[in-house]
Amino acid sequence: MIPAGLAAALILALTLAPLAAVGSRAEAGAGLGAGDWAAIRFTVWQAVVSAVVSVGLAVPVARALARRRFRGRGALVMLLGAPFLLPVIVAVLGLLAVFGRGGLLNAGIVALGGAPVSIYGAGGVILAHVFFNLPLAVRILLQGWLDIPAERFRLAAQLDAPIWSLLERPMLARVVPGAALVIFLICLTSFAVALTLGGGPRATTVELAIYQAIRFDFDLGRAALLALVQVALCVVAAVLAFRLTVIEPVGSGLDRTVARWDKSPWDWLWLAAVSLFLIAPLAMVVWRGIPGLADLPSSVWAASGRSIAVALGATVLSLALSFALALRGGIWMQGIGVLPLASSALVMGTGLFVMVYPFVNPTRLALAVTLAVNAVLALPFGLRVLAPAVRDVREGYGRLAASLGLTGWAGVRIVMLPRLRRPLGFAAGLTFALSMGDLGVIALFATDAQETLPLAMYRLMGAYRMEAAAGAALLLLALSLGGFWICDRGGRIDADL
């Protein structure tokens, strides 16, 4: 148990101190070069395109899910939640296996006599972003559809009124801007996708430019300036998004359908297409990974151990912080809880790099910094899960607990913790998976001695050891999803609700 004040101070320190460090170090005089401006333009452009494409495709898919009942619908809805838990680098490898040079798509094109297409560059970055965010968009829009009362569909059917213009278009007008902004925000801070599929003058994001400024040019002043640009972008988008919507990482209650009398056979096509789009890359990761498992260098196993340790540490820290904030509640705690959304892995990493550089070699702190940054960046999601759950327990049992004198630590131990097992388990699983798959700040700091599993996998890919990389990808996938499953399951077993 951490007191709320201490938790808030820790989060503020971890979010704002790096910003201050970045601000003090930024060399405004040096200015931004042509390449930096290109990175800024590309960052905004790709985020806009990714958001528009994701939401645009999500509309027919969500509508099909909202009005069709079929076997496997629950599994498909669950699959839509999976990309959130999926390590970016694993998904990239899967997308390469489908859309890459030696992938399924090009094999088909070549067999038909066409010229192979390249996944690298802006197209690949957007493809990966759509892969991650289309499911999120579908879930947000599906919630919008399910929020329309069933009676209205019945009424519209009776009156033979046009459902699209009467019910669906107004709902979408309300929900789409928020969904698009959330995805825009997520894509603004894209690092791992740009690192693996982008790069070069025409597909470098600001996050990637920060990384390159530190890692290749060792130009801390320019990195800091870029970090400030990144923060400005994030803050503007976050303020807009926060006013328009709530970010719901994995929603629930999406398992019902409303009886409808307007169904189009196109529904099935959309559902099949989105299923294939999501499943094919994952299936390829498993398919190509199994032979690679035998071929894994021992360094990968050591990296796995480090990754698990870092993810566990980040999970414990993040949960302790978000639990403390959720218990205290109130507008300030909420505000502090969403503050990390305005920052990013590379911004925090740069700030911490600048802070520790005069005293120690930053590479020695690689794992500790990764742990702290992951814990703070996952905090908004954990808090989103815990805060409403704490409120529910208070509403249901607050007076009983008070009349029995169960206050303070006794109340937490006897009432809160046992009542919150499910959301705690879920939040822990979420944080573990996010941290396990993180390829952000670790890339900035680590040398071989501290590499985590995602970084080890990235380096195997860079060395064109694709067999071993595929094995590492499967291992990473198993550890992320397995860790999530264990935590989530642990919260459910024997939980009396």
Partner 1 sequence: MLTFDDVTLSQGAFTLRADWQVAPGLTAVIGPSGGGKSTLLSAVAGFLTPTRGRILWKGQDLAGQAPGGRPVSMLFQDNNLFPHLTTSQNAGLALGPRLKLNDDEAARVEEALSRVGLTGLGGRKPGALSGGQQGRAALARVLLSDRPVVLLDEAFAALGPALRVEMLALVQTTLVAAGRTVLMVTHDPRDAKEHAQTVVLVADGVAHPPRDTAEIFADPPEALRAYLG
Please report, as ranges, the residues that interact with partner 1 according to CB under 8 A.
396-397, 399-400, 402-407, 410-411, 414-415, 418-419, 421, 495-497
Residue 115 DSSP symbol: P
> Rounded distance, CA 207 to CA 377, Å?
15
Instruction: Tell the smallest beta-carbon distance from residue 417 to partner 1 (Å).
Output: 10
Q: Which lies closer to partner 1 via its Cβ, residue 41 or residue 399?
A: 399
Comparison of 451 and 488: residue with beta carbon closer to partner 1? 488
**Nearer CB in complex with partner 1: 151/395:** 395
At a CB cut-off of 8 Å and minimum separation 6, what does 47 contact? 129, 183, 184, 185, 187, 188, 190
Q: How far apart are CA 279 and CA 286, in angstroms?
A: 11
**Residue entry with tokens 């999926």:** 86
Considering beta carbons, is residue 160 or 496 the nearer one to partner 1? 496
Cα 257 to its chain centre, rounded Å, is 27
Least CB distance to partner 1 at residue 206 (A): 48
- State in angstroms the smallest separation of the CB of 403 from partner 1: 5
Q: HSE-up of 24 (CA within 13 Å, CB side)?
A: 10
For the CB of residue 1, give the shortest distance to partner 1 in the complex, in Å.
16
Helices (H), 147-168: 150-159, 163
Closest CA relative to residue 136, chosen from 278, 240, 260, 318: 278
Count other C-beta atoms under 10 Å from residue 217's C-beta: 10
The string of DSSP codes covering 46-73 is: HHHHHHHHHHHHHHHHHHHHHH---TTH
Please identify, using beta-carbon distances, which residue of 120 and 397 lies nearer to partner 1.
397
390 C-beta neighbours (distance < 10 Å), count = 20
Do residues 491 and 421 touch, judged by C-beta distance below 8 A? Answer: yes
Q: In terms of CB distance, is 107 or 400 closer to partner 1?
A: 400
Give the pair of three-digit tokens for residue 172. 């979408």
Q: Nearest distance from residue 328's CB to partner 1, in Å?
A: 19
Neighbours of 174 (CB within 10 A): 13
Residue 86, amino acid? L
Within 10 A of 458 (CB to CB), how many other CB atoms are there?
23
Residues 6+ apart with CB under 8 A from 123: none
Supply the DSSP symbol for 330.
Answer: S
- The least CB distance from residue 390 to partner 1, in Å, is 15
CB of 400 to partner 1, least distance (A): 6
Q: Given the complex with partner 1, which of 309 and 404 has the nearer CB atom?
A: 404
Instruction: Output 158 or 403, the one with its CB closest to partner 1.
Output: 403
Q: State which residue, 256 or 413, has the beta carbon closest to partner 1.
A: 413
Least distance (Å) from partner 1 to the CB of residue 312? 25
Q: What is the nearest approach in angstroms of partner 1 to the Cβ of residue 329?
A: 18
Which residues on neighbouring strands pair with residue 199, listed in sequence order?
203
Q: How far is the CB of 325 from partner 1 (least distance, A)?
A: 23
Give the nearer residue to partner 1 in terms of CB position, either 101 or 399: 399
DSSP 8-state secondary structure symbol assigned to residue 246:
-
